[in-house]
Structure 1
Amino acid sequence: MPKKILMIVGDFGEDLEIMVPFQALDMLGHDVHAVCPEKEAGEKIKTAVHDFRGDQTYLEERGHDFELNATMADVDPAEYDALVVPGGRAPEYLRGYDEVLDAVRHFFDAEKPVAAICHGPQILAAADVLDGYEMTSYPAVQAEVEGAGCAWVDEVTTDRNLVTAQAWPDHAEWLRQFMTVLGDEIVHDDAAVAADDD
């Protein structure tokens, strides 16, 4: 059954961690609303592409412009079934908005599905919702989320309503686990596949 999903994004969020889940969840038939504080539907955010090339940290380059399709000021979190929090550089400033933190708290208080990746858990830590969870994040954020009360692990993890991953190379497993929490099921019709092969 299609779900209504809120995605909180911001300038210089990670390009792939915004674009890929937005499109994948839309492809599955979910209604995904991408919002950013102080911006309205139709406005754009700038994304960043982070690459891992063997340095001590990631390389950042300019990504795409991503168009918002909803307005944060109009959002009532109670009307949404799930939340997605991408990473990149945006979470470091998005966590300063009360409306973002209040929205995050709603999803945890109501035990609704939440998917967070990379630096996205910085927002969850600021919302003070991680106590007692087992989760992962970008490794540089480990101390911050542990300080918020979670047990950090080095792999894509689902704990109750929360699905977390370290970075965009984890997309396949992260989205697969989030689909499970959402109640999505992809059924392969082996008879149809066999017929196509004939």
Structure 2
Amino acid sequence: MAVLPDTQYLFDADCSDPAPLRATFRYLAAEREEANIAFMTHLGDVTEHGTEQEIALAADTFRTIHGKVPYSVLAGNHDIRSSTDDQRGDSAYLAAFGPQRYASMPTFRGASPDGYNSHHVLRAAGREWLVLALDWRVSDNGLRWAQGVLDAHPTLPAVLTTHDLAWSDDDGAAQLSDHGRRLWDGLIRGNDQIFLALGGHYWP
């Protein structure tokens, strides 16, 4: 599985430059068979400001890989109104990267009612794997939805992807963020089938 974190500086108003991401997507598509790339997940902050212009350019850039490698995208704090949770309603992000984007992908299995969380089932290494793509600020409704997905797929090892999960302190020790702690307490700790959790947002 290819993991792609924050690409926000490639989609930043008049400073936008999608060329590096297009090149990345072309590489992943070309190497899919040789490198056994079964899926790609984006960890949020696709854009810098979440404007319609930035989102539209990002969505067009993702066409480079669409239909070649299945993928998931989730919202980061730069993609939406960061003070709201996944019950925020319509947004430019949701219009471009909501459930309708994945409908034709063989890995897509569904989305939460608000549209900001999705789940996918991919096949690799001779078995199926579940991917949960969870929003920047998952609401209680979102957590209940995610638990329902896990309950419906009890035999599948699960990868949880989100934007804000953990960071490294000055001594290099990993610490859960506030959002990460909420995910740990509300979902991860009680579900052993989640064997891997991935997040972006922070950098060294």
TM over 0.5: no
TM normalised by structure 2 equals 0.34
TM normalised by structure 1 equals 0.34
